[in-house]
């Protein structure tokens, strides 16, 4: 079974709401495994066909856990080439993090789903729907790949 990881960081719950909506959208397609988590061991990245990362922007940066994750993946030669990648996140005024996540994914030659989804502070209903659609689109594309 193809598997999707929805990995997120969230301090005040805004990106978490987005992550839950992405996972819900992904689960609407039967026959795809979906895991929603805020931590992953780098070697477990191998298990997933799509990696969707929720990254809020703090101090114009991506959360350090994700920086470390990709650094470690590079050190350990984890092959992410050809896996689907996407990013989303809440922000307040500049919102760099999701784009920075996509830049990292691109270095690993992942297949990027663009543009990233951004929500200013708490996601409104339109942002939640965009997140659900993102999850749904990606799980449908995995079904079509199978
Ligand atoms: C200390 C601090 C630094 C922040 N830095 C930025 C920033 O550089 N750019 C930005 O767009 N938002 C910034 N924000 C706003 C957060 O991205 C925003 O509150 C977001 O909703 C947090 O998402 P979360 O609830 O998923 O953690 C900052 C917030 C705090 C508390």
pTM of the shown model: 0.98
Residue for token digits 């978490």?
A: 16
Cα–Cα distance for residue pair 64/82, rounded to 1 Å: 24
* Ligand 1 and 118: CB distance under 6 A: no
Ramachandran angles phi, psi of 60, nearest 5°:
60, 15
Read off the pLDDT of residues 63-95 as tens digits, 9 standing for 90 and up.
999 999 999 999 999 999 999 999 999 999 999
Check residue 28 and give its pLDDT. 93
> What pLDDT is stored for residue 144 in this prediction?
87
Q: What is the CA radius of gyration of the chain?
A: 14
DSSP designation for 44: G
DSSP-assigned letter for residue 138:
H
Tell which atom from ligand 1 comes closest to the C-alpha of 95.
11
Q: Is 12 in the pocket of ligand 1 (CB under 6 A)?
A: yes
Pocket test for ligand 1, best of 92, 122, 128 (most atoms within 8 A of CB): 92
Rounded CA separation 63/8 (Å): 9
């Amino acid at each position: 079974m193809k598997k999707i990881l929805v990995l997120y960081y969230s301090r005040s719950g805004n990106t978490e709401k987005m992550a839950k909506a992405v996972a819900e959208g992904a689960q609407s397609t039967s026959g795809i495994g979906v895991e929603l988590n805020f931590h992953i061991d780098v070697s477990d990245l191998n298990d997933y066909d799509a990696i969707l990362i929720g990254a809020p922007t703090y101090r114009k940066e991506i959360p350090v856990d994700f920086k470390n994750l990709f650094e470690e993946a590079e050190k350990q030669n984890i092959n992410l080439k050809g896996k689907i990648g996407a990013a989303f996140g809440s922000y307040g005024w500049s919102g760099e993090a999701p784009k920075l996540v996509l830049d990292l994914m691109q270095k690993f030659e992942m297949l990027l789903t663009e543009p990233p989804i951004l929500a200013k502070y708490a996601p409104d209903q339109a942002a939640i729907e965009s997140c659900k659609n993102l999850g749904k689109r990606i799980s449908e594309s995995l079904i079509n790949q199978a």
